[in-house]
Amino acid sequence: MTQASLLRNKYDCWYRAIPDNNKIKLEPWHENALALGIDNDKKRILEVGCGSGDFSIFLSRQGAQVTAIDFSIVAIEAARKKNTAYKTNVNCIVADSQAIPFKNNSFDLIYSFECLEHVLEPRSMLHECSRVLKTNGKIILTTENYLNAMSYVLLYYKLIRRPFDSGSGVQPIENYSLFWKTKKMFLEAGFKKVNFKGSHFVFLLLPGCDPCTFVRVRFKSQLLNFILKPFARHLVFQGTKL
């Protein structure tokens, strides 16, 4: 069995552990992306790492032409089931984000949520996204940032010699993400005008406490949000292919 097959089996097992839910649920990272005010209407859109397809189905219901890919067969099966239930027209495909099976310049807009930190070669994923994106097309991508109290969690798991759990269960791949490394990868992939915003500022994590106890989602002051964005846990990046 190849490394890719072994990894796919692990992600299939991870997705099977997620409770089956046929409702469309938008997560905080989806809301962060939507807050950018991007026009999705009548665009040809690719979602990379779609999971069970909630966001792609949401976009399809808004009038976009959406293709959704995920590495996991189980995830795509769930996405297709939801797509049928909601009578939308999302094209759900099993595919590797590091080898996207589409021609150059195929899409107007790419979305990817909490996927980059879970692939073997994040740089390859971003280069592939750049390749299939049209000139002047945009990518909207969210990923973790551990320049905050989450680094203490990582250190804790290293000390007790257990796999790192960022809060959504132990995943087969969990890359250590920092905002400047992610931005550098965007620029290396050929994206310009790269900027990012942050939410969920994790000030402190204590044993036995809910992880949300010492978290501020956003500040009322836009200036404070701007100054502290390098320390936010959830980052949304926006780049343009020129």
In order, the DSSP letters of 166-199 are -SS---S------HHHHHHHHHHTTEEEEEEEEE
Task: State which amino acid sits at residue 37.
Answer: G
Amino acid at 129: C
State the pLDDT confidence band at 118, using cuts at 50, 70 and 90.
Answer: very high
Q: What is the pLDDT of residue 109?
A: 97
Q: Would the pLDDT of 200 be above 70?
A: yes
Note the pLDDT tens digit of each residue in 168-188: 778 889 898 999 999 999 999
Average confidence score pLDDT of the chain: 92
Token output for 38: 């991007």
> Three-state SS for 56?
helix
For the cut 90, the answer to whether the pLDDT of residue 233 exceeds it is yes
Between 214 and 141, whose confidence is greater? 141
Across residues 35-51, what is the average pLDDT? 94
Tokens of 231: 């320390």
pLDDT of residue 88: 96
Q: How far apart are CA 116 and CA 144, in angstroms?
A: 9
| Position 208 pLDDT exceeds 90 | no
pLDDT at 99 over 80: yes
pLDDT at 1 over 70: no
Q: Looking at the predicted structure, is the pLDDT value of residue 19 above 90? A: no
Give yes or no for a contact between 49 and 118, defined as CB atoms under 8 angstroms apart: yes
91-97: list long-range contacts, CB under 8 Å, 24+ apart. Answer: 91/66, 91/67, 92/50, 92/53, 92/56, 92/68, 93/67, 93/68, 93/69, 94/69, 94/70, 95/69, 95/70, 95/71, 96/4, 96/71, 97/48, 97/49, 97/69, 97/71, 97/125, 97/128, 97/129
How many Cβ atoms from other residues are within 10 Å of residue 16's Cβ?
Answer: 12
> Tell me, what's the pLDDT at 123?
97
Model confidence at 211, pLDDT cuts 50, 70, 90, reads low
Q: How far apart are CA 173 and CA 144, in angstroms?
A: 13
Which of the four pLDDT bands, split at 50, 70 and 90, describes residue 156?
confident
Which CATH code, of 3.40.190.10, 3.40.50.620, 3.40.1740.10, 3.40.50.150, is assigned to 3-147+173-199+233-241?
3.40.50.150
Q: What is the model's pTM?
A: 0.94
Q: What is the pLDDT of residue 210?
A: 67
78: region left, alpha or beta (phi > 0 left; psi from -120 to 50 alpha) = alpha
The residue type found at 66 is V
Separation of alpha carbons 142 and 111, rounded Å: 8
pLDDT at 162 > cutoff 70: yes
The single-letter code of the amino acid at 209 is: C
H or E segment to which residue 155 belongs: helix 150-159
Q: Is the predicted pLDDT of residue 50 greater than 90, yes or no?
A: yes
